[in-house]
Structure 1
Amino acid sequence: MKILGVIPSRYASSRFPGKPLVDIHGKTMIQRVYEQALQSSSLDELVVATDDQRIFDEVMRFGGKAMMTSPDHNNGTERSAEVARIKDGFDYIINIQGDEPQIHPDQITILANMLNGDVELATLVKPITDYEELDDPGEMKVIFNQQNEAIYFSRTCIPYLRDIQKVDRLKAHNYYKHIGIYAYRDDILQQIVKLPQSTLEMAESLEQLRWIENGYKIQLGFTNLESRMIDTPADLAKLLNEIHS
Protein backbone atom coordinates (compact mmCIF):
# COMPACT_ATOMS: atom_id res chain seq x y z
CA MET A 1 0.00 0.00 0.00
CA LYS A 2 1.29 3.45 -0.91
CA ILE A 3 0.42 5.90 1.87
CA LEU A 4 0.38 9.69 1.83
CA GLY A 5 0.55 11.54 5.14
CA VAL A 6 -1.24 14.90 5.20
CA ILE A 7 -1.05 17.45 8.01
CA PRO A 8 -3.91 19.94 7.48
CA SER A 9 -2.98 23.27 9.04
CA ARG A 10 -4.81 26.59 9.09
CA TYR A 11 -3.94 29.89 10.72
CA ALA A 12 -7.45 31.00 11.65
CA SER A 13 -8.87 29.55 14.85
CA SER A 14 -11.57 30.99 17.07
CA ARG A 15 -9.95 29.64 20.23
CA PHE A 16 -6.29 30.02 19.31
CA PRO A 17 -5.46 32.05 16.17
CA GLY A 18 -2.06 31.32 14.68
CA LYS A 19 -1.39 28.25 16.81
CA PRO A 20 0.56 26.30 14.11
CA LEU A 21 3.26 28.98 14.39
CA VAL A 22 3.49 29.26 18.17
CA ASP A 23 6.92 28.57 19.62
CA ILE A 24 7.38 25.41 21.65
CA HIS A 25 10.88 25.59 23.11
CA GLY A 26 12.53 26.78 19.92
CA LYS A 27 10.37 25.04 17.32
CA THR A 28 6.97 25.95 15.92
CA MET A 29 4.08 23.62 16.57
CA ILE A 30 3.81 22.65 12.91
CA GLN A 31 7.50 21.76 12.82
CA ARG A 32 7.13 19.52 15.86
CA VAL A 33 4.12 17.73 14.36
CA TYR A 34 5.95 17.29 11.04
CA GLU A 35 9.11 15.94 12.64
CA GLN A 36 7.16 13.48 14.79
CA ALA A 37 5.17 12.20 11.82
CA LEU A 38 8.30 11.92 9.69
CA GLN A 39 9.68 9.35 12.13
CA SER A 40 7.05 6.83 11.03
CA SER A 41 8.51 4.63 8.29
CA SER A 42 4.98 3.79 7.11
CA LEU A 43 4.50 7.00 5.15
CA ASP A 44 5.70 7.16 1.55
CA GLU A 45 5.35 10.95 1.56
CA LEU A 46 4.41 13.62 4.09
CA VAL A 47 3.02 17.06 3.27
CA VAL A 48 1.49 19.98 5.17
CA ALA A 49 -1.74 21.22 3.56
CA THR A 50 -2.50 24.86 4.35
CA ASP A 51 -4.32 27.91 3.04
CA ASP A 52 -2.00 30.39 4.72
CA GLN A 53 1.23 31.68 3.22
CA ARG A 54 2.81 32.12 6.66
CA ILE A 55 2.43 28.44 7.45
CA PHE A 56 3.63 27.45 3.97
CA ASP A 57 6.74 29.62 4.38
CA GLU A 58 7.47 28.16 7.82
CA VAL A 59 7.33 24.59 6.50
CA MET A 60 9.68 25.55 3.68
CA ARG A 61 12.01 27.18 6.22
CA PHE A 62 12.53 24.00 8.25
CA GLY A 63 12.85 21.83 5.14
CA GLY A 64 9.43 20.18 5.02
CA LYS A 65 6.97 19.74 2.18
CA ALA A 66 3.85 21.90 1.92
CA MET A 67 1.00 22.62 -0.46
CA MET A 68 -1.31 25.60 -0.70
CA THR A 69 -4.95 24.51 -0.69
CA SER A 70 -8.33 26.20 -0.94
CA PRO A 71 -9.42 28.52 1.91
CA ASP A 72 -12.98 27.21 1.54
CA HIS A 73 -12.51 23.81 3.20
CA ASN A 74 -14.58 23.12 6.30
CA ASN A 75 -12.21 20.59 7.86
CA GLY A 76 -9.03 18.58 7.49
CA THR A 77 -10.81 15.80 5.61
CA GLU A 78 -11.75 18.16 2.80
CA ARG A 79 -8.24 19.61 2.74
CA SER A 80 -6.75 16.11 2.61
CA ALA A 81 -9.04 15.22 -0.28
CA GLU A 82 -7.76 18.16 -2.32
CA VAL A 83 -4.17 17.08 -1.76
CA ALA A 84 -5.04 13.51 -2.73
CA ARG A 85 -6.61 14.70 -6.00
CA ILE A 86 -3.43 16.57 -6.88
CA LYS A 87 -0.99 13.90 -5.70
CA ASP A 88 -2.37 10.91 -7.58
CA GLY A 89 -1.18 7.35 -7.10
CA PHE A 90 -1.64 6.81 -3.35
CA ASP A 91 -3.81 4.00 -2.01
CA TYR A 92 -4.46 5.62 1.36
CA ILE A 93 -4.23 9.05 2.93
CA ILE A 94 -3.53 9.47 6.64
CA ASN A 95 -4.78 12.74 8.14
CA ILE A 96 -2.45 13.78 10.96
CA GLN A 97 -3.71 16.52 13.28
CA GLY A 98 -1.66 19.70 13.01
CA ASP A 99 -2.20 20.65 16.65
CA GLU A 100 -0.78 17.53 18.31
CA PRO A 101 2.95 18.29 18.65
CA GLN A 102 3.57 15.17 20.69
CA ILE A 103 1.93 12.69 18.34
CA HIS A 104 3.80 9.41 18.56
CA PRO A 105 5.18 7.93 15.31
CA ASP A 106 4.00 4.49 16.47
CA GLN A 107 0.39 5.70 16.35
CA ILE A 108 0.80 6.42 12.65
CA THR A 109 2.45 3.05 12.12
CA ILE A 110 -0.33 1.18 13.96
CA LEU A 111 -2.90 2.85 11.72
CA ALA A 112 -0.90 2.26 8.54
CA ASN A 113 -0.52 -1.45 9.32
CA MET A 114 -4.31 -1.82 9.27
CA LEU A 115 -4.61 -0.65 5.67
CA ASN A 116 -4.95 -3.70 3.44
CA GLY A 117 -7.00 -2.42 0.51
CA ASP A 118 -10.31 -3.62 1.95
CA VAL A 119 -10.43 -1.12 4.84
CA GLU A 120 -12.45 1.94 3.84
CA LEU A 121 -11.72 4.21 6.79
CA ALA A 122 -9.69 3.71 9.94
CA THR A 123 -8.83 5.51 13.15
CA LEU A 124 -7.44 4.79 16.62
CA VAL A 125 -8.97 4.44 20.06
CA LYS A 126 -7.43 4.31 23.52
CA PRO A 127 -8.77 2.79 26.75
CA ILE A 128 -10.11 5.36 29.19
CA THR A 129 -8.54 5.09 32.63
CA ASP A 130 -9.48 8.52 34.04
CA TYR A 131 -12.99 9.07 35.40
CA GLU A 132 -12.93 12.73 34.37
CA GLU A 133 -12.52 11.76 30.70
CA LEU A 134 -15.84 9.91 30.75
CA ASP A 135 -17.77 13.15 31.27
CA ASP A 136 -15.46 15.48 29.34
CA PRO A 137 -17.22 16.58 26.11
CA GLY A 138 -13.79 17.30 24.64
CA GLU A 139 -12.97 13.58 24.75
CA MET A 140 -14.83 11.62 22.08
CA LYS A 141 -16.07 8.27 23.30
CA VAL A 142 -16.62 5.37 20.90
CA ILE A 143 -18.41 2.03 20.89
CA PHE A 144 -17.74 -0.71 18.35
CA ASN A 145 -18.86 -4.13 17.16
CA GLN A 146 -17.12 -7.51 17.34
CA GLN A 147 -15.25 -6.74 14.12
CA ASN A 148 -13.78 -3.62 15.76
CA GLU A 149 -15.82 -1.37 13.49
CA ALA A 150 -17.16 1.84 15.00
CA ILE A 151 -20.86 1.86 15.86
CA TYR A 152 -21.04 5.38 17.28
CA PHE A 153 -18.92 8.28 18.52
CA SER A 154 -20.20 10.64 21.19
CA ARG A 155 -19.17 13.52 23.41
CA THR A 156 -21.15 11.89 26.21
CA CYS A 157 -20.36 8.74 28.12
CA ILE A 158 -21.45 5.70 26.10
CA PRO A 159 -22.70 3.15 26.91
CA TYR A 160 -24.84 4.30 29.81
CA LEU A 161 -24.68 1.84 32.72
CA ARG A 162 -28.13 2.01 34.23
CA ASP A 163 -27.52 0.35 37.58
CA ILE A 164 -23.91 1.42 38.18
CA GLN A 165 -22.79 4.45 40.17
CA LYS A 166 -20.54 6.93 38.35
CA VAL A 167 -17.56 6.11 40.55
CA ASP A 168 -17.79 2.44 39.58
CA ARG A 169 -18.21 2.80 35.81
CA LEU A 170 -14.59 2.04 34.87
CA LYS A 171 -14.68 -1.11 36.98
CA ALA A 172 -17.88 -2.33 35.35
CA HIS A 173 -17.11 -1.64 31.68
CA ASN A 174 -14.21 -1.01 29.29
CA TYR A 175 -14.56 2.50 27.86
CA TYR A 176 -12.63 3.88 24.90
CA LYS A 177 -11.86 7.36 23.62
CA HIS A 178 -11.08 8.42 20.09
CA ILE A 179 -7.57 9.43 19.03
CA GLY A 180 -8.04 11.96 16.23
CA ILE A 181 -5.99 10.51 13.42
CA TYR A 182 -7.76 9.18 10.31
CA ALA A 183 -6.89 6.96 7.37
CA TYR A 184 -8.99 7.07 4.22
CA ARG A 185 -8.85 4.82 1.19
CA ASP A 186 -8.37 7.22 -1.70
CA ASP A 187 -11.64 6.46 -3.49
CA ILE A 188 -13.61 6.57 -0.23
CA LEU A 189 -12.10 9.92 0.70
CA GLN A 190 -13.34 11.47 -2.52
CA GLN A 191 -16.81 10.06 -1.83
CA ILE A 192 -17.24 11.18 1.77
CA VAL A 193 -16.33 14.81 1.11
CA LYS A 194 -19.29 15.01 -1.28
CA LEU A 195 -21.79 13.86 1.36
CA PRO A 196 -24.10 16.48 2.88
CA GLN A 197 -23.95 16.99 6.63
CA SER A 198 -25.98 14.40 8.51
CA THR A 199 -28.33 14.83 11.43
CA LEU A 200 -26.08 12.92 13.84
CA GLU A 201 -23.04 14.90 12.75
CA MET A 202 -24.82 18.17 13.42
CA ALA A 203 -26.10 16.93 16.77
CA GLU A 204 -22.66 15.95 18.12
CA SER A 205 -20.48 18.14 15.85
CA LEU A 206 -18.48 15.06 14.82
CA GLU A 207 -17.88 14.53 11.11
CA GLN A 208 -17.21 10.78 11.41
CA LEU A 209 -20.89 10.29 12.26
CA ARG A 210 -21.73 11.45 8.73
CA TRP A 211 -19.72 8.53 7.36
CA ILE A 212 -21.38 5.98 9.65
CA GLU A 213 -24.83 7.37 8.95
CA ASN A 214 -24.17 6.90 5.22
CA GLY A 215 -23.10 3.27 5.63
CA TYR A 216 -19.31 3.56 5.53
CA LYS A 217 -17.25 1.34 7.83
CA ILE A 218 -14.62 2.78 10.18
CA GLN A 219 -12.10 0.17 11.32
CA LEU A 220 -10.59 0.78 14.75
CA GLY A 221 -7.03 0.21 15.87
CA PHE A 222 -6.00 0.22 19.52
CA THR A 223 -3.25 2.15 21.25
CA ASN A 224 -2.18 2.92 24.79
CA LEU A 225 -0.22 5.96 23.65
CA GLU A 226 -1.63 9.36 24.55
CA SER A 227 -1.92 12.15 21.99
CA ARG A 228 -2.82 15.57 23.35
CA MET A 229 -4.44 18.26 21.23
CA ILE A 230 -3.46 21.89 21.79
CA ASP A 231 -6.77 23.72 21.46
CA THR A 232 -6.28 26.81 23.61
CA PRO A 233 -3.44 28.98 24.97
CA ALA A 234 -4.02 27.27 28.32
CA ASP A 235 -3.30 23.89 26.71
CA LEU A 236 -0.05 25.30 25.33
CA ALA A 237 0.98 26.71 28.69
CA LYS A 238 0.49 23.31 30.28
CA LEU A 239 2.55 21.62 27.57
CA LEU A 240 5.39 24.14 27.90
CA ASN A 241 5.62 23.33 31.59
CA GLU A 242 5.95 19.62 30.83
CA ILE A 243 8.59 19.55 28.10
CA HIS A 244 11.99 21.19 27.99
CA SER A 245 13.09 20.90 24.35
Structure 2
Amino acid sequence: MVSPLVVIPARLASTRLPDKPLADIAGLPMIVHVLNAALAAAVGPVIVAAADQAICDVVTRAGGTAVLTDPDLPSGSDRAWQAACRIDPDSRHDLIINLQGDLPTFPPGDLRAVVDLMRDERFDIGTLVAPVTSEAERDAASVVKVACDFSSGQAYAPALYFSRQSIPWGAGPLWHHVGVYGWRRAALAQFVDLPPSGLEKRENLEQLRALESGMRIGCTRIQAAPFGVDTPDDLERARRLLGAAKK
Protein backbone atom coordinates (compact mmCIF):
# COMPACT_ATOMS: atom_id res chain seq x y z
CA MET A 1 0.00 0.00 0.00
CA VAL A 2 1.03 3.61 -0.57
CA SER A 3 -0.16 6.80 1.11
CA PRO A 4 -0.23 9.59 -1.49
CA LEU A 5 0.04 13.33 -1.00
CA VAL A 6 -0.73 15.38 -4.11
CA VAL A 7 1.31 18.57 -4.46
CA ILE A 8 0.64 21.17 -7.17
CA PRO A 9 3.59 23.58 -7.56
CA ALA A 10 2.64 27.03 -8.86
CA ARG A 11 4.34 30.39 -9.31
CA LEU A 12 3.40 33.70 -10.88
CA ALA A 13 6.72 34.24 -12.66
CA SER A 14 6.50 32.92 -16.22
CA THR A 15 8.34 34.27 -19.24
CA ARG A 16 5.67 33.46 -21.81
CA LEU A 17 2.53 33.90 -19.70
CA PRO A 18 3.01 35.90 -16.48
CA ASP A 19 0.56 35.24 -13.64
CA LYS A 20 -0.87 32.21 -15.43
CA PRO A 21 -2.02 30.34 -12.28
CA LEU A 22 -4.47 33.20 -11.68
CA ALA A 23 -5.71 33.43 -15.28
CA ASP A 24 -9.49 33.18 -15.49
CA ILE A 25 -10.77 30.13 -17.37
CA ALA A 26 -14.54 29.66 -17.50
CA GLY A 27 -15.01 31.64 -14.30
CA LEU A 28 -12.26 30.06 -12.19
CA PRO A 29 -8.52 30.72 -11.87
CA MET A 30 -6.47 28.07 -13.67
CA ILE A 31 -4.89 26.81 -10.44
CA VAL A 32 -8.38 26.12 -9.05
CA HIS A 33 -9.24 23.97 -12.08
CA VAL A 34 -6.13 21.88 -11.41
CA LEU A 35 -6.91 21.75 -7.69
CA ASN A 36 -10.44 20.52 -8.42
CA ALA A 37 -9.15 17.81 -10.76
CA ALA A 38 -6.75 16.57 -8.09
CA LEU A 39 -9.48 16.55 -5.46
CA ALA A 40 -11.82 14.68 -7.81
CA ALA A 41 -9.18 11.96 -8.20
CA ALA A 42 -9.64 11.23 -4.47
CA VAL A 43 -6.24 9.61 -4.03
CA GLY A 44 -5.19 11.58 -0.95
CA PRO A 45 -4.79 15.10 0.47
CA VAL A 46 -4.07 17.86 -2.05
CA ILE A 47 -1.95 20.96 -1.44
CA VAL A 48 -0.80 23.79 -3.66
CA ALA A 49 2.88 24.63 -3.23
CA ALA A 50 2.77 28.34 -4.01
CA ALA A 51 5.70 30.65 -4.64
CA ASP A 52 3.46 33.69 -4.15
CA GLN A 53 0.94 34.80 -1.53
CA ALA A 54 -1.59 35.71 -4.23
CA ILE A 55 -1.79 32.05 -5.25
CA CYS A 56 -2.27 30.99 -1.63
CA ASP A 57 -5.11 33.47 -1.26
CA VAL A 58 -6.93 32.22 -4.37
CA VAL A 59 -6.57 28.58 -3.33
CA THR A 60 -7.75 29.28 0.22
CA ARG A 61 -10.79 31.19 -1.02
CA ALA A 62 -11.65 28.18 -3.18
CA GLY A 63 -11.58 25.95 -0.11
CA GLY A 64 -8.20 24.37 -0.83
CA THR A 65 -4.97 24.11 1.11
CA ALA A 66 -1.87 26.08 0.09
CA VAL A 67 1.66 26.25 1.45
CA LEU A 68 3.82 29.31 0.78
CA THR A 69 7.27 28.17 -0.42
CA ASP A 70 10.56 29.91 -1.08
CA PRO A 71 10.11 31.86 -4.36
CA ASP A 72 13.76 31.26 -5.27
CA LEU A 73 13.50 27.46 -5.47
CA PRO A 74 14.82 26.28 -8.84
CA SER A 75 12.09 23.83 -9.87
CA GLY A 76 8.64 22.45 -9.24
CA SER A 77 10.23 19.34 -7.74
CA ASP A 78 12.04 21.45 -5.14
CA ARG A 79 8.82 23.32 -4.42
CA ALA A 80 6.87 20.07 -4.03
CA TRP A 81 9.47 18.71 -1.62
CA GLN A 82 9.54 21.84 0.55
CA ALA A 83 5.74 21.93 0.74
CA ALA A 84 5.53 18.23 1.57
CA CYS A 85 8.04 18.64 4.39
CA ARG A 86 6.09 21.57 5.83
CA ILE A 87 2.63 20.01 5.59
CA ASP A 88 3.74 16.48 6.55
CA PRO A 89 6.80 16.77 8.81
CA ASP A 90 6.17 13.31 10.30
CA SER A 91 6.40 11.59 6.88
CA ARG A 92 2.97 9.98 7.07
CA HIS A 93 2.76 10.11 3.27
CA ASP A 94 5.28 7.91 1.47
CA LEU A 95 4.21 8.88 -2.07
CA ILE A 96 4.38 12.49 -3.26
CA ILE A 97 2.57 13.14 -6.52
CA ASN A 98 3.76 16.24 -8.36
CA LEU A 99 0.94 17.54 -10.58
CA GLN A 100 1.76 20.53 -12.79
CA GLY A 101 -0.33 23.61 -12.11
CA ASP A 102 -0.82 24.48 -15.79
CA LEU A 103 -2.98 21.48 -16.76
CA PRO A 104 -6.53 22.84 -16.32
CA THR A 105 -8.15 20.00 -18.32
CA PHE A 106 -6.28 17.19 -16.54
CA PRO A 107 -8.46 14.05 -16.19
CA PRO A 108 -8.69 12.89 -12.54
CA GLY A 109 -8.41 9.25 -13.60
CA ASP A 110 -4.91 9.85 -14.90
CA LEU A 111 -3.80 10.77 -11.39
CA ARG A 112 -5.14 7.47 -10.11
CA ALA A 113 -3.09 5.74 -12.81
CA VAL A 114 0.11 7.15 -11.26
CA VAL A 115 -0.87 5.80 -7.84
CA ASP A 116 -1.59 2.37 -9.30
CA LEU A 117 1.80 2.36 -11.03
CA MET A 118 3.60 3.17 -7.80
CA ARG A 119 2.25 0.04 -6.14
CA ASP A 120 4.93 -1.66 -8.27
CA GLU A 121 7.96 -1.71 -5.99
CA ARG A 122 10.42 -1.82 -8.89
CA PHE A 123 10.13 1.91 -9.43
CA ASP A 124 11.39 4.91 -7.47
CA ILE A 125 9.38 7.34 -9.61
CA GLY A 126 6.28 6.89 -11.74
CA THR A 127 5.08 8.97 -14.66
CA LEU A 128 2.62 9.03 -17.56
CA VAL A 129 3.05 8.55 -21.29
CA ALA A 130 0.61 9.00 -24.17
CA PRO A 131 0.89 7.94 -27.82
CA VAL A 132 2.47 10.39 -30.24
CA THR A 133 -0.20 10.84 -32.89
CA SER A 134 1.26 13.22 -35.49
CA GLU A 135 4.49 14.17 -37.21
CA ALA A 136 4.25 17.66 -35.71
CA GLU A 137 4.05 16.19 -32.20
CA ARG A 138 6.94 13.84 -32.98
CA ASP A 139 9.18 16.64 -34.22
CA ALA A 140 8.32 19.37 -31.68
CA ALA A 141 11.14 20.09 -29.25
CA SER A 142 8.51 21.19 -26.72
CA VAL A 143 7.13 17.63 -26.66
CA VAL A 144 9.34 15.36 -24.56
CA LYS A 145 9.62 11.80 -25.85
CA VAL A 146 10.51 8.76 -23.75
CA ALA A 147 12.12 5.49 -24.79
CA CYS A 148 10.02 2.75 -23.19
CA ASP A 149 8.50 -0.47 -24.50
CA PHE A 150 5.10 -2.02 -23.81
CA SER A 151 5.29 -4.53 -26.68
CA SER A 152 5.09 -7.60 -24.46
CA GLY A 153 1.75 -6.44 -23.08
CA GLN A 154 2.84 -5.30 -19.64
CA ALA A 155 0.96 -2.48 -17.94
CA TYR A 156 4.14 -0.67 -16.84
CA ALA A 157 7.49 -0.16 -18.53
CA PRO A 158 10.80 1.31 -17.35
CA ALA A 159 11.86 4.61 -18.88
CA LEU A 160 15.28 4.21 -20.46
CA TYR A 161 15.78 7.78 -21.70
CA PHE A 162 13.94 11.08 -22.22
CA SER A 163 14.67 13.48 -25.08
CA ARG A 164 13.28 16.38 -27.03
CA GLN A 165 14.29 14.43 -30.13
CA SER A 166 12.20 11.60 -31.55
CA ILE A 167 13.26 8.38 -29.80
CA PRO A 168 13.70 5.45 -30.18
CA TRP A 169 14.73 4.89 -33.80
CA GLY A 170 12.92 2.31 -35.95
CA ALA A 171 9.37 1.15 -36.51
CA GLY A 172 6.97 1.19 -33.59
CA PRO A 173 5.01 3.54 -31.36
CA LEU A 174 6.48 6.73 -29.94
CA TRP A 175 5.55 7.98 -26.48
CA HIS A 176 4.86 11.55 -25.40
CA HIS A 177 5.98 12.11 -21.81
CA VAL A 178 3.45 13.79 -19.55
CA GLY A 179 5.26 15.64 -16.77
CA VAL A 180 3.30 14.30 -13.80
CA TYR A 181 5.37 12.34 -11.29
CA GLY A 182 4.77 9.99 -8.43
CA TRP A 183 7.82 10.14 -6.17
CA ARG A 184 8.63 7.75 -3.38
CA ARG A 185 9.40 10.14 -0.56
CA ALA A 186 12.98 8.91 -0.16
CA ALA A 187 13.59 9.30 -3.92
CA LEU A 188 12.42 12.92 -3.95
CA ALA A 189 14.53 13.70 -0.89
CA GLN A 190 17.56 12.27 -2.68
CA PHE A 191 16.75 14.00 -5.97
CA VAL A 192 16.54 17.55 -4.63
CA ASP A 193 19.95 17.14 -2.97
CA LEU A 194 21.64 16.14 -6.24
CA PRO A 195 23.33 18.74 -8.47
CA PRO A 196 21.98 19.10 -12.02
CA SER A 197 23.45 16.32 -14.18
CA GLY A 198 25.21 16.58 -17.51
CA LEU A 199 22.41 15.15 -19.62
CA GLU A 200 19.82 17.12 -17.65
CA LYS A 201 21.58 20.35 -18.59
CA ARG A 202 22.06 19.28 -22.19
CA GLU A 203 18.41 18.31 -22.80
CA ASN A 204 16.95 20.72 -20.19
CA LEU A 205 15.03 17.79 -18.66
CA GLU A 206 15.37 17.29 -14.91
CA GLN A 207 14.14 13.67 -15.00
CA LEU A 208 17.49 12.76 -16.58
CA ARG A 209 19.13 13.67 -13.26
CA ALA A 210 17.13 10.88 -11.67
CA LEU A 211 18.10 8.36 -14.35
CA GLU A 212 21.76 9.35 -14.23
CA SER A 213 21.76 8.84 -10.46
CA GLY A 214 20.47 5.29 -10.84
CA MET A 215 16.81 5.79 -9.98
CA ARG A 216 14.23 3.72 -11.87
CA ILE A 217 11.35 5.56 -13.51
CA GLY A 218 8.25 3.58 -14.43
CA CYS A 219 5.78 4.58 -17.15
CA THR A 220 2.10 3.84 -17.51
CA ARG A 221 -0.02 4.65 -20.54
CA ILE A 222 -2.91 7.09 -20.79
CA GLN A 223 -5.07 7.70 -23.85
CA ALA A 224 -3.97 11.25 -24.66
CA ALA A 225 -1.56 13.88 -23.37
CA PRO A 226 -3.38 16.54 -21.33
CA PHE A 227 -3.49 20.07 -22.64
CA GLY A 228 -0.98 22.40 -20.99
CA VAL A 229 -1.12 26.20 -20.87
CA ASP A 230 2.18 27.93 -21.65
CA THR A 231 1.26 30.80 -23.99
CA PRO A 232 -1.59 33.31 -24.53
CA ASP A 233 -2.84 31.13 -27.41
CA ASP A 234 -2.91 28.11 -25.09
CA LEU A 235 -4.91 30.12 -22.58
CA GLU A 236 -7.51 31.07 -25.17
CA ARG A 237 -7.79 27.42 -26.23
CA ALA A 238 -8.32 26.35 -22.61
CA ARG A 239 -11.02 29.00 -22.23
CA ARG A 240 -12.84 27.66 -25.31
CA LEU A 241 -12.57 24.03 -24.14
CA LEU A 242 -13.66 24.57 -20.57
CA GLY A 243 -16.20 27.20 -21.51
CA ALA A 244 -17.86 24.72 -23.87
CA ALA A 245 -17.75 21.98 -21.23
CA LYS A 246 -19.43 24.28 -18.71
CA LYS A 247 -22.45 24.96 -20.98
Give the structure-1-normalised TM-score. 0.92
Match for residue 72 of structure 2?
Answer: 72
Letter in 1 for 2:33: R
TM superposition shift of 1:160 = 2.9
Match for residue 106 of structure 2?
Answer: 103
Matched, 1:120 2:124: yes
Contact 1:20/1:30 (8 A) holds in 2: yes
Matched, 1:156 2:165: yes
Match for residue 135 of structure 1?
Answer: 139
3-state DSSP of counterpart to 1:138:
coil
Task: Give identity over the alignment, percent.
Answer: 38
Match for residue 238 of structure 1?
Answer: 237
Matched, 1:9 2:10: yes
Contact 1:40/1:108 (8 A) holds in 2: yes
Match for residue 219 of structure 2?
Answer: 220
User: Which moves more between the two structures, 21-30 or 115-124?
Assistant: 115-124
TM superposition shift of 1:41 = 2.0
Contact 1:201/1:208 (8 A) holds in 2: yes
Q: Distance in 2 between matches of 1:158 and 1:94?
A: 26
What residue ranges of structure 2 are gaps of 5+ in the alignment? 151-155
Computed over aligned residues only, the root mean square deviation of the Cα atoms, in angstroms, reads 1.3
TM superposition shift of 1:144 = 2.0
1:41-73 Cα deviation digits (max 9, x unpaired): 22x200000120100000011111100111121
What residue ranges of structure 1 are gaps of 5+ in the alignment? 162-171
1:177–1:117 distance in 2 versus 1, CA, 3 Å: closer
Q: Distance in 2 between matches of 1:80 and 1:224?
A: 26
Q: Distance in 2 between matches of 1:85 and 1:117?
A: 24
Q: Distance in 1 between matches of 2:133 and 2:161?
A: 20
Match for residue 206 of structure 2?
Answer: 207
TM superposition shift of 1:194 = 0.6
1:156-189 Cα deviation digits (max 9, x unpaired): 111234xxxxxxxxxx321111011001000111
TM superposition shift of 1:39 = 0.5
Match for residue 153 of structure 2?
Answer: none
Q: Distance in 1 between matches of 2:67 and 2:237?
A: 31
Q: Distance in 1 between matches of 2:125 and 2:225?
A: 21
3-state DSSP of counterpart to 2:57:
helix
